Structure 1
Amino acid sequence: MSLPRPDVHRDPALPNSVRVYEVGPRDGLQAETTMVPTATKAEFCRRLVAAGITNLELTSFVSPRWVPQLADAEELMASLDLPSSIRQIVLAPNARGLDRALSAGATEIAVFVSATETFAAKNLGTTVADALSSAATVVEGATAGGAATRGYISMSFGDPWEGAVDVERVADIAERLIQMGVGTLSLGDTIGVATPGHVHSVLNAVLARGISVDRVAMHLHDTYGQALANVYASLTAGVTEFDSSAGGLGRCPYAKGATGNLATEDLLWMLDGLGIETGIDLHALAEVSDWLASAMGRPSDSSVVRALSAARADHALSPTR
């Protein structure tokens, strides 16, 4: 008996391939209150790469006072020896973080801004204007240092304090980030409230600024169970890069009951079924997530990981034919 895989039904109107941007080691782990050993993080990264992940967000060079879980950024980077073909991304919020990141060997730098003033104040301790100014400094320095850049816009679809977010406000910030030189742009549904029509509205506003769709990525949370529907809506608009987290690792602390990041395995099950190439082995990745869940002492948040784990257990108990 073979392990389950989705039947493939190709839609020629959709992209032939997409980039899966794995955020588990950084975005997934950063909210964990129990400290994860550096050796475990490093092994997690190696196993992700072995499963076919080529776009990997490793850590963040922020002050340990803000994110204690990622205080070992330099130690983690020093312990890794990943192939040069792997896109190794780290977050750097300011010039000091950039200097640390470049010294540690990062090949791509991500900057982080908010679409709303309240989130900028509560999460970044600044204003949107000042966050953009800091981002410009980091992007300029990263480019001079030979590193690629990526820009995140959080709260692109809704804010827990301000409510609805004007799509033109998101487009304004997207345009500013592209003008300052970021290579790619990730639109974040930080609290998981978006729906497919909303996704199209935001994308239309952003693309109307002359931004090419191949420079846009989607960072979708599954708080209300809409993440895969929103992925499909994004695919129909031509988006070919999606952020996700192995095993659904991570959460949004600003939405009550939030499950957080879209699980990479759930994303892969849908993409595999659509015949869209990712270069990632779904079953190998699910085993990585099972391993990490065991190491962290709790079950995976991914529906696909849980289903495949049960299928592997049934397969192991099946009589030999």
Structure 2
Amino acid sequence: MDLTADSHTVPLSDGNRIPLLGLGTYADPRSTAKGTALECVKNAIDVGYRHFDGALVYFNEHEVGQAIREKIADGTVKREDIFYCGKLWSTFQPPEMVRPALESTLKALKLDYVDLYIVELPMAFKPGNDFYPRDENGKYIYHHTDLCATWEAMEACKDAGLVKSLGVSNFNRRQLELLFNKPGLKHKPVSNQIECHPYFTQPKLLEYCRQKDIVVVGYSPIGTSRDPSWVNLKCPPLLEDEVLVSIGKKYSKSSAQVALRFNVQRGVVVIPKSFSPQRIHHNYQIFDFSLTEEEMKSIEMLNKNIRFVQLLMWADHPEYPFHDEY
């Protein structure tokens, strides 16, 4: 695979293409200053990024959309150069709520379509305006999940031209099989966004997805924040790993750049999140070196099979995806 900073897209099974490197735009709205996503996305487009991973539940799609529109207006990019991934949140899984949720994303972005729309989690929560519904005891309120019905509503959005490609996130093999075996399936999921990095290489799910022509999009590709409310702190900090650091020294690269290069070299899309202009630039510099087969193997051997993102607060949901082996 000949990857360059200007050309690093891979084909999706529906004929569209996805850039192997994107920018994650997740932000905690309580601690992120207004305008941060706007400036960072504009900066990222100037650096060369064309793939942006967002979600309604990040509460900043209006800023991401404004950045994209400003960069189209000043002639830096055209709309067709940009690949935007939006996500269907778990309180919008009933079929009649899918299109309105996507329309909320399009309204926030002020764009006519998104390039990829994915079911963010296989677990449905009680529908409504509260994204994290809880009862009076603080327990999350779940909703019956009918993934096939949700998927049919996603297919209708594609048929209506609101989205180019459809995918999923955090789905295990059983949940993917459910969609593939759905009677009358019109549009297959083209991607599955899952946690994927040198400490959690996902060999079995990756192999299954390859067999099904599903592109894997890896989130937390360089590890994640150490926020104890949702991160498994038993997992050691990825970027301090000696193997990654020593391979990086050989190429005058950082452990983060080596971790990103590892995944793109095996065809896994990476979406590192950063709101630091220096890091956004730094993470993009992975196309001027390549890892040897031996180095790829030594990084694969770092796999500890432990997740940073366990989502244990929802482990009692009937469709919690991480009880299965893969």
Q: Give me the TM-score of the superposition, normalised by structure 2.
A: 0.51
1:7-45 per-position Cα deviation (integer Å, ceiling 9, x unaligned): xxxxxxxx3224334233x32x2x24135324x433322
Q: CA deviation at 1:67?
A: 5.1
Q: 1:243: which partner in 2?
A: 271
1:294-314 per-position Cα deviation (integer Å, ceiling 9, x unaligned): xxxxxxxxxxxxxxxxxxxxx
2:115 is aligned with 1:112? no
- Distance in 2 (CA, whole Å) between partners of 1:206 and 1:180 is 18
> What is the 5 A alignment of 1:146-161?
147-154=163-170
> What is the 5 A alignment of 1:9-20?
15-17=1-3, 18=8, 19-20=19-20
> What is the 5 A alignment of 1:137-152?
137-145=153-161, 147-152=163-168
Question: 5+ residue gaps in structure 2?
Answer: 9-18, 89-97, 134-139, 225-234, 240-255, 293-326
Q: 1:218: which partner in 2?
A: 218
Q: 1:89: which partner in 2?
A: 84
- Please state which structure has a larger fraction of its residues in helix: 1
- Distance in 1 (CA, whole Å) between partners of 2:31 and 2:63 is 14
Give the stretch that moved more between structures: 73-82 or 138-147.
73-82
> Structure 1 36/80 Cα, relative in aligned 2: closer, same or farther at 3 Å?
farther
1:137-183 per-position Cα deviation (integer Å, ceiling 9, x unaligned): 134213321531242322x5xxxxxxxxxx63354267479x55256
> What is the 5 A alignment of 1:308-319?
none
> Structure 1 202/131 Cα, relative in aligned 2: closer, same or farther at 3 Å?
same
Cα RMSD for the two superposed structures = 4.4
2:45 is aligned with 1:49? yes
Matched position secondary structure for 1:89: strand
Q: CA deviation at 1:185?
A: 0.5
- Distance in 2 (CA, whole Å) between partners of 1:270 and 1:206 is 24
Matched position secondary structure for 1:42: helix
Q: CA deviation at 1:47?
A: 1.5
- Preserved contact between residue 87 and residue 120 of structure 2 (Cα < 8 Å): no
- Preserved contact between residue 187 and residue 219 of structure 1 (Cα < 8 Å): yes
- Distance in 2 (CA, whole Å) between partners of 1:248 and 1:110 is 26
Q: 2:209: which partner in 1?
A: 206
- Distance in 1 (CA, whole Å) between partners of 2:198 and 2:166 is 23
Letter in 1 for 2:100: R
Q: Give me the TM-score of the superposition, normalised by structure 1.
A: 0.51
For this pair of structures, how many residues does the alignment match?
A: 220
> Structure 1 136/264 Cα, relative in aligned 2: closer, same or farther at 3 Å?
farther
1:79-138 per-position Cα deviation (integer Å, ceiling 9, x unaligned): 6635223224142522112223445213424222435689x9979965584355334313
Residue identity over aligned pairs, in percent, reads 7
- Preserved contact between residue 22 and residue 264 of structure 1 (Cα < 8 Å): no
Q: CA deviation at 1:204?
A: 1.6
Matched position secondary structure for 1:273: coil
> What is the 5 A alignment of 1:260-279?
268-274=284-290
- Preserved contact between residue 56 and residue 86 of structure 1 (Cα < 8 Å): no
- Preserved contact between residue 151 and residue 186 of structure 1 (Cα < 8 Å): yes
